[in-house]
């Protein structure tokens, strides 16, 4: 996944080696199924396949695909798992980075291959048809799914107290050895190391953040974010700097954070409130940052 993982847990010392092997095996499985950076992964083989071919997906891949398509339908395409051609075109995929923005024709050509409605997926049969030129990219949801796989594995092993983190997405259960909760600080863009937008206690809860200030490139005096709007074919260009979402499933928190970021502050906040989501929005106002939170998020915040 191009990142690191970390797990804090309470367990017998004699079990640690076995647990580490189990954790790594589950993350390796996610990579083998859904990494567009691995040429022999299930998703890469699908993306290279011929038009009209049907592919039976592994159970994990199918679960993530179903969730991604459901969110695509619910957001009317603001979230779209077929965004791969645009991700590569803008230099944020396996095709490599770029130093200049693509021209309008290149964007139009890539966008012609994007569209979640083109993906014919039979959830019951776990079958996904290749319509021709489709390039599925699940990077905005698979990492969260990996967190869930690890957390669920640990719970199955009787580990009631753990904090799982993969590339900044987290899910926590139980408490630390001193009986205090697993507290997680939400980063404040532009803030110092000791500055946080909020602090959340995770117990049966996951947290994920999507932001435009980590991955981007600058060209001709303009910054291009890695968060792309599949409806326009271009990086987002609004004042929203980041969105953090809390959810019982990290897979859902991960994807929802991306979807809300694409929707923007106004439409994103409306969507979050309509669905009762716990979400924190960080917006740019000149050189400063301001936060907006949903009632569900406020209810989860740790009090000073």
Tens digit of pLDDT per residue, the chain (304 long)? 778 999 999 999 999 999 999 999 999 999 999 999 999 999 999 999 999 999 999 999 999 999 999 999 999 999 999 999 999 998 888 888 788 888 999 999 999 999 999 999 999 999 999 999 999 999 999 999 999 999 999 999 999 999 999 999 999 999 999 999 999 998 777 655 556 788 999 999 999 999 865 666 676 667 778 899 999 999 988 888 899 999 999 999 999 999 999 999 999 999 999 999 999 999 988 888 899 999 999 999 887 6
β-strand pairing of 54-56 with 127-129: antiparallel
Q: Which residues pair with 198 in a beta bridge?
A: 186
Give the relative orientation of helices 59-74 and 16-34 as an angle to the nearest 10 degrees.
Answer: 60
Kindly report the pTM of this predicted structure.
0.94
Residue matched to tokens 């024709």: 105
Element holding 196 (H helix, E strand): strand 196-202
Q: Spell out the domains of the chain, with CATH numbers in brackets.
A: 162-300 (3.10.520.10)
Alpha-carbon gap, residue 47 to 34, rounded angstroms: 11
């Amino acid at each position: 996944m191009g990142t690191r993982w970390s797990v804090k847990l309470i367990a017998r010392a004699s079990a640690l080696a076995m647990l580490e092997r189990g954790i790594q095996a589950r993350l390796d499985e996610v990579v083998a199924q859904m990494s567009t950076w691995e040429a022999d992964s299930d998703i890469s083989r699908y993306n290279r396949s011929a038009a009209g071919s049907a592919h039976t997906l592994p159970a994990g891949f199918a679960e993530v695909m179903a969730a991604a398509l459901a969110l695509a339908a619910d957001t009317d395409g603001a979230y779209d798992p077929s965004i791969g051609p645009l991700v590569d075109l803008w230099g944020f995929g396996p095709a490599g980075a770029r130093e200049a923005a693509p021209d309008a024709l290149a964007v139009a050509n890539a966008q012609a291959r994007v569209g979640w409605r083109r993906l014919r997926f039979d959830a019951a049969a776990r079958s996904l048809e290749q319509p021709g030129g489709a390039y599925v990219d699940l990077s905005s949801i698979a990492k969260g799914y990996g967190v869930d796989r690890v957390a669920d594995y640990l719970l199955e092993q009787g580990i009631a107290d753990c904090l799982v983190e993969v590339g900044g997405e987290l899910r926590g259960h139980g408490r630390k050895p001193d009986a205090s909760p697993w507290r997680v600080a939400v980063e404040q863009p532009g803030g110092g190391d000791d500055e946080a937008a909020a602090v959340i206690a995770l117990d049966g809860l996951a947290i994920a953040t999507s932001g435009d200030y980590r991955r981007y490139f600058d060209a001709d005096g303009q910054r291009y974010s890695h968060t792309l709007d599949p409806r326009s074919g271009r990086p987002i260009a609004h004042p929203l700097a980041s969105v953090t979402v809390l959810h019982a499933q990290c897979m859902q928190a991960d994807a929802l954070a991306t979807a809300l970021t694409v929707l923007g502050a106004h439409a994103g906040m409306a969507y979050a409130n309509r669905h009762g989501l716990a979400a924190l929005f960080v917006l740019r106002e000149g050189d400063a940052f301001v936060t907006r939170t949903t009632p569900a998020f406020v209810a989860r915040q740790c009090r000073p």
